[in-house]
Amino acid sequence: MKDLQQQRLERFREILAKEGLEAFLVSKPENRRYLSGFTGSSGFLLITPQEAVLLTDGRYEQQACQEAPDCRILIYKGEFLEAFRETCSDLQIRELGFEKDHLTYYMFEQFEKNLAKVKLRPLSGLVEGLRMVKDQEEIRLIQEAAVITCAAFWYLLGVLEEGQSEQEVAAILEFFMRKNRGGPPAFETIVAAGERGALPHGVATDQKLRRGQMVVLDLGARYQGYAADFTRTVCLRRVDRRQREIYELVREAQGRALEVIRPGVTASEVDGAARSFLQEAGYGEFFTHALGHGVGLSVHEEPRLAPGQEVVLEPGMVVTVEPGLYLPGWGGVRIEDTVVVTETGCEVLTPVTKDLLIV
Ligand SMILES: [Mn+2]
């Protein structure tokens, strides 16, 4: 793991060199963790060609030293800004890149005020670009998260009953994941039954499940910081023709997208494989979101599988493939897998059956 951390730092320094930048301040927690190993909730990572300085407060002294052995740890006692100004002047930093889509406007103002001699350069997506392609260790961790997630789903099938509330179902899933080495859920578990299935992000309510409803179950464990993301839609006790028809459309769309995933294909082509199928079937307007997104330290990250996204897929990228149809007043169906792009195609990390399950 230690070597990996150094490799990531080296690769990031190459990017800085290309940008012609002598210093970069990482403030986004996932990016900080990726480059330093530090998992604490508060801190900044300053990277220069020679140094990686992790500035954090007294609560994290021990943890930072353990988790980020490649960094110089600087525990600030008073104000962060004072410590940061001193560090910048010690390192003779003249220009500082920062994460413009994360640093708050307030902090930016403070930097302008307190770092009079430092030119500030707003940048976007530098670390995120590196994080798109996962290394072996990251893939292993996502795979673990996926295994825990799928196990929770299988467990639920054995205990799911009419009369349980959506919240109760979410609690069963989350309890199982935590009990089986998953951290806190990667996101709020979605349990959306019947008409509520038409809400793509219908988080669980106290509505009780009824016979004949379809239930969208979207869950993800987190394992050592890494997320999985997985959805299946099941029927409670019985299924009607319409439900089966919509389900099979989504299933076919998902299969078509999985088939085209391989290195060299663009994100929008993968999205298009599913989208054009649903459009031709006359249901295009009911597929209301992107086909998928990257998964890693964040549950939603780059690349996005969506129209107009020209990112070219590479081995090691981990993405979700999750077409859905949402019919207001009727309900919805979504089928989602987390997959890793391989040399020749993709490997599904959540290999749970896609037959329509009647529970
Ligand atoms: Mn997802």
In sequence order, the 6+-apart residues with CB closer than 8 A to the CB of 54 are: 32, 36, 38, 43, 44, 45, 46, 64, 68, 71, 72, 73, 74
pLDDT mean over 226-252: 98
Q: In the chain, what are the domains?
A: 2-131 (3.40.350.10), 136-348 (3.90.230.10)
pLDDT of residue 183: 86
Q: Give residue 2's pLDDT band: very low, low, confident or very high (50, 70, 90).
A: low
Find the mean pLDDT for residues 211-227. Answer: 97
Distance 336 CA to ligand 1 centre (A): 7
Task: Give 103's Cβ-side CA count (13 Å radius).
Answer: 25
**Average pLDDT over every residue of 79-92:** 93
pLDDT tens sequence across 325-357: 999 999 999 999 999 999 999 999 999 999 999
Q: What confidence score (pLDDT) does residue 214 get?
A: 97
CA of residue 158 to ligand 1 center, whole Å: 24
Q: How far is the CA of 120 from the centre of ligand 1 (A)?
A: 35
Give the sign of the dihedral formed by CA 231, CA 333, CA 340, CA 7: negative
Quote the pLDDT of residue 5: 84
Q: How confident is the model at residue 79 (pLDDT cuts 50, 70, 90)?
A: confident
Look at residue 248 in the predicted model and tell me its pLDDT: 98
d(CA 41, CA 43): 7
What's the mean per-residue pLDDT of the chain? 96
β-pair partners for 214: 235
Q: How far apart are CA 205 and CA 207, in angstroms?
A: 5
Residue 33 CA, ligand 1 centroid: distance in Å: 22
pLDDT of residue 201: 87
Long-range contacts of 169-177 (CB under 8 A, 24+ apart): 169/204, 169/209, 169/215, 169/217, 170/203, 170/204, 173/217, 173/219, 174/219, 176/151, 176/152, 177/148, 177/149, 177/152, 177/219, 177/221
CA 322 to ligand 1 centroid distance, Å: 7
- Amino acid code (one letter) for 334: R
Q: What is the pLDDT of residue 78?
A: 85
Measured from the Cβ of residue 58, the count of other Cβ atoms closer than 10 Å reads 9
pLDDT of residue 259: 98
The answer to whether the CB of 221 falls within 8 A of the CB of 184 is no
**Rounded-to-integer distance, Cα 91 and Cα 74, Å:** 14
Q: What is the pLDDT of residue 88?
A: 94
pLDDT reading at 300 higher than 80: yes
Residues of the chain with pLDDT > 70: what percent?
A: 99
Say yes or no to pLDDT of 138 above 70: yes
pLDDT at 170 over 90: yes
- Express each pLDDT in 183-200 by its tens digit: 899 999 999 999 999 998
Q: How far is the CA of 229 from the centre of ligand 1 (A)?
A: 5
Give 320 Cα–ligand 1 centroid separation in angstroms.
Answer: 6
Query: Which contiguous run of DSSP H or E holds residue 152?
Result: helix 136-159
CA distance 359 to 355: 12
**pLDDT tier for residue 112 given thresholds of 50, 70 and 90:** very high
pTM for this predicted structure = 0.94
Give the E-state strand segments of 60-127 in sequence order. 72-76, 95-99, 119-123
For residue 129, how many C-alpha atoms fall within 13 Å in the half-sphere facing its CB?
12
How far is residue 333's CA from residue 213's CA, in Å, rounded to a whole number?
Answer: 11
